[in-house]
Amino acid sequence: MSLAKVGNPVRNEPFQTSKSLCRFEDEEAELLTHCFLKSFRSLELHQLFHHTSLESNELYSYATAIFEDNEQLLQQGEMIAKHLHARSNHPNIKSGDLCVALINEVVVGGEPVQALSIVKSESKVPFLQISEKNGDLVLTTEQGIYPEKIDKGCLIVNGGKADGYYVYLFDKSGGNTNFWVRDFVGAKPVTNDDFLTRRYSELCVAFAEKGLPEDTLQEERMEVASKAISYLNDTEEFDLDDFQEKALADADRIERFNIFKEDYEQEKSGPLKESFTVSKKEAEKAGNRLKSRMKLDVGVTMQFSSGFIHQADSFMERGHDDEKMMDYVKIYFHKEV
């Protein structure tokens, strides 16, 4: 592992890199490997790219040099830190500690390969330590990196080199992710069937929540989202025209969806393919996540699962009480669970 402290050049904060590599015993390495890989679970697959040529992407060049000659880790780790420092030229970008770790035997497709874990921690966490001093026990306070609180990460796996490697990214800081994903790493999502299924499921739920007329009842919004997710679950090959006909049906709704889809594509990752093979695992995840809430102005919020959404007409009634001059919702159920 190589280390660096990367300040913000706009604020004249310091920049420093390690003069030698940190090496670890097996037990330490096992613990650190878990810490440095844990945050990359279940993330969307990306790949490095550049608008001119892949070789012009800085991280692609640095990672390639390290994978081809592991003795390059210290030198290329310093180059990665300098690259990050040069991209940290916005006043809102925080300084932090950078760790560039070479990890062996990451299993991809049944084959053990190397991976490069680049993580940045922008905040220190206080912790207590009891130690022995002059035959007695003393309590000291320290400031350190807490693995659960690492702010930004990039994992480059030594596979798929010709297409820009297998890359996984996260940014937990809640700031401008373009800085980390676009400016520093230079990565884009891999537009495979998993990606397209996930994006269309997100698009459909967002359309049901924000793309329908303002006076649309909540149960109607729930039904629109549910039919869209059901289409993904029931269909092997997605076709946009077929989807609109079967899941949306109404001509006005289809027109609204197309307008909403264009805005969504501009905001996200560009135009989505109109036909692809549905990823059943992603469609199932979307169905499990499909829950809707009804938030009322009297301080009550009701949450409905996808199972309820399909049967809302049988279990839920709306009405208006003329005496109270208020609307009401009535829910029928067999028993509490």
The closest of 97, 101, 49 to 70, measured between CA atoms, is 101
At 292 the pLDDT is 64
Give the Cα separation of 96 and 81 in Å (integer): 11
Tokens of 159: 């596979």
At 302 the pLDDT is 79
The closest of 31, 1, 6, 39 to 168, measured between CA atoms, is 39
- 10 Å CB burial of residue 307 (0-12, 13-18, 19+) is exposed
Tokens of 136: 């007695």
- 10 Å CB burial of residue 84 (0-12, 13-18, 19+) is buried
Residues in the chain: 337
The closest of 158, 198, 159 to 43, measured between CA atoms, is 198
At 145 the pLDDT is 81
The closest of 201, 205, 105, 88 to 158, measured between CA atoms, is 105
Beta strand 15-17 pairing with 2-6: antiparallel
- 10 Å CB burial of residue 104 (0-12, 13-18, 19+) is exposed
At 174 the pLDDT is 65
Backbone angles phi, psi at 306, to 5 degrees: -65, -35
At 159 the pLDDT is 94
Q: Other C-beta atoms within 10 Å of 32: how many? A: 18
Q: How many CA atoms lie within 13 A of 49 on its CB side?
A: 10
Dihedral sign (CA 212, 213, 219, 223): negative
pTM for the model stands at 0.77
The closest of 148, 166, 149 to 157, measured between CA atoms, is 166
SS3 sequence of the chain: CEEEEECCHHHCCCEEECCCCCCCCHHHHHHHHHHHHHCCCCCCCEEECCCCCHHHCHHHHHHHHHHHCHHHHHHHHHHHHHHHHHHCCCCCCCCEEEEEEEEEEEEECCEEEEEEEEEEECCCEEEEEEEEECCEEEEEEEEECCHHHCCEEEEEECCCHHHCCEEEEEECCCCCHHHHHHHHHCEEECCCHHHHHHHHHHHHHHHHHHHCCCCCCHHHHHHHHHHHHHHHHHCCEEEHHHHHHHHHCCHHHHHHHHHHHHHHHHHCCCCCCCEEECCHHHHHHHHHHCCEEEECCCCCEEEECHHHHCCHHHHEEEEEECCCCEEEEEECCCCCC
Q: Where are the domains of the chain?
A: 2-122+148-189, 193-331
pLDDT of the chain, 337 residues: tens digit per residue: 999 999 999 999 999 999 999 998 888 888 888 888 888 887 889 999 999 999 999 999 999 999 999 999 999 999 999 999 999 988 889 999 999 999 999 988 889 999 999 999 998 888 888 988 889 999 988 888 877 778 999 999 999 999 999 999 999 876 556 899 999 999 999 999 999 999 999 999 899 989 999 988 887 888 888 899 999 999 999 999 999 999 998 899 999 999 999 999 988 768 899 999 999 999 888 877 766 667 788 888 877 776 666 666 678 787 888 888 888 888 888 888 7
Give the Cα separation of 245 and 257 in Å (integer): 12
